Amino acid sequence: MSVNPAYGIASREAYEAAVARLREASSAYYNAEALLMGDAEWDALAAEAAAAELAHPEWLSPDSPTGKVAGGVGVAGTIRHEPPMLSLDNVYDHAELVAWVTRVERALGHPVTAGYTVEPKLDGLAVAARYVDGRLDRLATRGDGSTGEDVTHAVSRIGGLPAQLAEPVTVEVRGEVFFRESDFESANEGRVASGKPAFAAPRSAAAGCLRAETLNHDALLSFAAYSVMGIDAPTHMEAMSRMRMLGITAADVTACTDTTAVLTRIAEIGTGRALLGYGVDGAVVKANAAADRDTVGSGSRAPRWAIAYKGPEFPADVAVSRLVEVLWQVGRTGVITPRGRIEPVTVGGVEIAYATLHNVGDLTRKGFMLGDKVTIRRAGEVIPRIEAPLVDQRTGEETPIQEPAVCPRCGGDLDTTEARWRCRRGRACGLRESIRYGVSRDCLDIEGMGDALVTQLVDRGLVADLADIFTLTREQLLGLDRMGGTSVDKLLDQIERAKSQPLSRVFCALGVLQTGRSMSRRLARHFTRMDALVAATVADLEAVDGIGPTRAAVIAEELVELAPVIVKLQTAGVNLVEPVTAASASAATNDEDGATPDNRLPFTGLTVVVSGTVPGLSRNEANEAVERLGGSSSGSVSKKTNLLIAGDGAGSKVAKAESLGVRVMSADEFAALLADI
């Protein structure tokens, strides 16, 4: 572990207290379903303890977690690991990483022979899977590094670790078991529904679900291999390629020729980790050649040929704080959202004092109380979320959270029949937010209608719904603060221009529950006219890609509620039709008779991801352009992706696309295609 001698523990008593805290937190982290402190706090405290041990060797406690696998608290089991399963040493900045590279090459006596590899450091639980003649024989945790627990019973819960390999080989595969974000959410919902406390974080949840003999809720875990024994592979890259050929999911490994390439790849992983869909708390750098690794060797705790980089590109995305207060917010559709005020803590590199509690149902099911210690997560999200209360750390001084009896904004009645409580006045309660959303750039795009103006329009009763914007008069606008003749005329021109927006944008501006920009475009392309959308049955709506029975029912109910507003829009002369493009005409032809049209657009039938900045276009406008070219827009690169459009700052998505063989198009090429339609 890298230590900073500037840290200071002033006394032996303080050192021993730090060791006790570290062991308690490590035990919870590695062996339980709990989380007593975040990674950043643990690393900082461990660095203080290590610095104290260097300065005062006489203080060194046999219980110290420094220099030990799993912090010295991993549960030993009956399965012996040969060779031992080691931890990794950490470095925390570029200078420390370069110093490690220097040590490796000094030990070799020459530069590494096949460069280095870089892979995401998964935030999961290390395991070893033994295959005999191609069949999975046993699965064990790392434990204390020498022996681990037998968890073969859990194999059926793990994706990426097949029971039968593609070839009858005898190998031991080591890797990480972890939760993907979506699977963690599903497992947590099932756990809470079964009456148990919510999981604190994906990593501790993975440990608990892997060890449990039986579960009373579904839990789909994932696996990624990071090493293999029993296969003669001259490099790490070739070993991981062999894993994939056998049917095992392997780590996303990139070969790098030198330190500059290593640092570039680390930056890409750091930039793109929020989009991966699973936890990454650093990057692992390894000497690629097996011969180099053999020469450099290993210590008692960690290999010398590999290092975990945990620099500023990877701020911890989970932390522990205390819930101080619950504030109640009302959204644009009248939905009531609880927001927690917490003791300030750094999560994802940002100091957080407030975080969402998701919804009232979630708040109740998980049993939060004021004064609770809670876990805060910011993984892949812009908005930090209070994940779970740490029930076992309650002191008895916690107090119940008082849920609102009436709407916090208007004092009206609440609809509490769903997990998301809602003011019965709906959009009328959240009118300001609803109008601001409707006139935004990605909806009606009415320039000049900012927050201050919307507030005046609502407060003076000039606008009671979205459609009222289109009946505003010059005289009404001149009577508002800071609205002169020139400003009013420009605004009226913008409002008139907005009448010509396509149906997809008008529908999006209505703010229909459980729809957004992408779903609005799908609905508009499918039905083409607002009257067809309003007349659609639940079954009709389910025919649209991405709409299931629950969402279809909500949309149908919303359209009934919004019918008077839609009539007013039509009366005001607002366009309620989606332009028919060659792409939609092609789709219609195929739907009706299976024919293949001759006028296919460049992206017809393709799933396209836009990453980075495309000059002159917002992300929503770029996705709209993809669809005008006949494609289907998506937000993440996967095996289903056919094309990636890479603008400035595209980052790790380019590397992922290339690794999957996905075609990459520059923003300039994309612009040229748009110029032709």
Task: At 116, give phi and psi (nearest 5°).
Answer: -120, 165
Question: Among 331-340, 346-355, 597-606, where is mean pLDDT lowest?
Answer: 597-606
Mean pLDDT of 107-130: 95
Whether residues 180 and 294 share a domain: the answer is yes
Mean pLDDT of 129-155: 93
Whether residues 353 and 443 share a domain: the answer is no
Of 228, 78, 207, the closest CA to residue 146 belongs to 78
pLDDT of residue 592: 36
Greatest mean pLDDT among 66-80, 98-112, 358-372 lies in 98-112
Whether residues 537 and 394 share a domain: the answer is no
Whether residues 249 and 322 share a domain: the answer is no
Burial of 163 (0-12, 13-18, 19+ CB in 10 A): exposed
pLDDT of residue 271: 81
pLDDT of residue 595: 36
Separation between Cα atoms, residue 129 and residue 232, nearest integer Å: 18
Cβ atoms of 354 and 340 closer than 8 Å: yes
DSSP 282-342: EEEEEESBHHHHHHH-B-SSSBSSEEEE--TTS--SEEEEEEEEEEEEE-TTSBEEEEEEE
pLDDT of residue 372: 94
Whether residues 476 and 518 share a domain: the answer is no
**Among 456, 473, 498, residue at a domain's last position:** 498
Of 273, 315, 292, the closest CA to residue 92 belongs to 315
User: What are 400's two structure tokens?
Assistant: 């119940």
pLDDT in tens, 398-424: 999 999 999 998 899 999 988 789 899
Contacts of residue 125, defined as CB under 8 A and 6 or more positions apart, other chains included, come to: 30, 141, 142, 176, 177, 178, 203, 206, 207, 210
User: Would 580 be classed as within a structural domain?
Assistant: no
User: What are 523's two structure tokens?
Assistant: 């609905």
pLDDT of residue 35: 65
Q: Which of the four pLDDT bands, split at 50, 70 and 90, describes residue 25? A: confident
Torsion region of 426: left, alpha or beta (phi above 0 gives left; psi -120 to 50 gives alpha): left
Whether residues 153 and 272 share a domain: the answer is yes
User: What are 439's two structure tokens?
Assistant: 């006139």
Catalytic residues: 121
Cβ atoms of 248 and 167 closer than 8 Å: no
Choice between 63 and 494, residue whose per-residue pLDDT is larger: 494
Cβ atoms of 255 and 237 closer than 8 Å: yes
Q: Is the pLDDT of residue 435 over 60?
A: yes
Q: Return mean pLDDT, the chain.
A: 86
pLDDT in tens, 33-63: 566 666 667 777 777 888 888 888 888 888 8
pLDDT in tens, 548-594: 888 899 899 899 989 999 999 999 999 999 986 544 444 444 433 33
Whether residues 39 and 176 share a domain: the answer is no
User: What are 450's two structure tokens?
Assistant: 């900012």
Whether residues 123 and 202 share a domain: the answer is yes
The proportion of the chain whose per-residue pLDDT surpasses 70, expressed as a percent, equals 91
Q: Is the pLDDT of residue 397 over 50?
A: yes
Look at the alpha carbons of 445, 451, 453, 456 in this order and tell me if their dihedral is positive or negative: positive
**Among 54, 72, 90, residue at a domain's last position:** 72
Could you give the C-alpha distances from 629 to 602, 603, 622, 632, in angstroms and in order?
A: 6, 5, 11, 9
Q: 451: domain range?
A: 430-498
User: Would 235 be classed as within a structural domain?
Assistant: yes
Separation between Cα atoms, residue 294 and residue 93, nearest integer Å: 26
Mean pLDDT of 479-489: 94
Mean pLDDT of 648-656: 77
pLDDT of residue 5: 38
Question: For the chain, how many structural domains are there in total?
Answer: 6
Q: Is the pLDDT of residue 510 over 70?
A: yes
pLDDT of residue 198: 81
Contacts of residue 232, defined as CB under 8 A and 6 or more positions apart, other chains included, come to: none
User: Would 452 be classed as within a structural domain?
Assistant: yes
CATH number at residue 342: 2.40.50.140
Beta partners for residue 131, in sequence order:
136, 171
User: Would 2 be classed as within a structural domain?
Assistant: no
Cβ atoms of 151 and 319 closer than 8 Å: no
Mean pLDDT of 354-382: 83
Of 343, 320, 326, the closest CA to residue 393 belongs to 320
Of 577, 333, 331, 563, the closest CA to residue 467 belongs to 563
Mean pLDDT of 474-489: 94
pLDDT in tens, 592-640: 333 334 446 788 888 898 988 888 888 878 888 888 787 888 877 888 8
Whether residues 403 and 258 share a domain: the answer is no
Question: Among 79-93, 260-274, 380-394, 634-648, where is mean pLDDT lowest?
Answer: 380-394
User: Would 652 be classed as within a structural domain?
Assistant: yes
User: What is this structure's pTM?
Assistant: 0.60
**Among 309, 332, 347, residue at a domain's last position:** 309
Which helix (H) or strand (E) covers residue 475, if one does?
Answer: helix 474-478
Mean pLDDT of 273-280: 81
Maximum C-alpha span of the chain: 85
CB 536: neighbour CB atoms within 10 A?
20
Using DSSP, state whether 75 is helix, strand or coil. Answer: coil
Question: Among 19-28, 68-77, 331-340, where is mean pLDDT lowest?
Answer: 68-77
pLDDT of residue 377: 82
User: Would 583 be classed as within a structural domain?
Assistant: no
Question: Among 456-465, 597-606, 607-616, 661-670, where is mean pLDDT lowest?
Answer: 597-606
Mean pLDDT of 340-346: 91
Q: Is the pLDDT of residue 441 over 50?
A: yes
pLDDT of residue 583: 45
User: What are 373's two structure tokens?
Assistant: 């210690």
Using DSSP, state whether 592 is helix, strand or coil. Answer: helix
User: What are 576's two structure tokens?
Assistant: 């309620």
Mean pLDDT of 284-291: 97
Separation between Cα atoms, residue 574 and residue 577, nearest integer Å: 9
Whether residues 255 and 130 share a domain: the answer is yes
DSSP 167-225: S---EEEEEEEE-BHHHHHHHHHHHHHTTPPPPS-HHHHHHHHHH-S--SS---EEEEE
pLDDT of residue 598: 40
User: What are 122's two structure tokens?
Assistant: 């998964």
Sheet holding 90-91, edge to edge: 90-91, 306-309, 280-287, 116-122, 254-256
pLDDT of residue 340: 93
Cβ atoms of 242 and 285 closer than 8 Å: no
pLDDT of residue 594: 38
CATH number at residue 511: 1.10.150.20
CATH number at residue 633: 3.40.50.10190
Task: At 613, give phi and psi (nearest 5°).
Answer: -95, 125
Separation between Cα atoms, residue 78 and residue 148, nearest integer Å: 6
Whether residues 169 and 272 share a domain: the answer is yes
The proportion of the chain whose per-residue pLDDT surpasses 90, expressed as a percent, equals 48
Choice between 340 and 123, residue whose per-residue pLDDT is larger: 340
CATH number at residue 145: 3.30.470.30
Whether residues 202 and 90 share a domain: the answer is yes
pLDDT in tens, 189-244: 888 888 788 887 888 888 888 988 888 888 899 999 999 999 999 999 999 999 99
The CB-based long-range contact list for 403-408 (8 Å cut-off, 24+ gap) reads 403/360, 403/363, 403/364, 404/328, 404/336, 407/330, 407/334, 407/336, 408/328, 408/329, 408/330, 408/336
Look at the alpha carbons of 303, 306, 311, 313 in this order and tell me if their dihedral is positive or negative: negative
DSSP 421-437: -EETTGGGTTHHHHHHH
User: Would 154 be classed as within a structural domain?
Assistant: yes
User: Would 422 be classed as within a structural domain?
Assistant: no
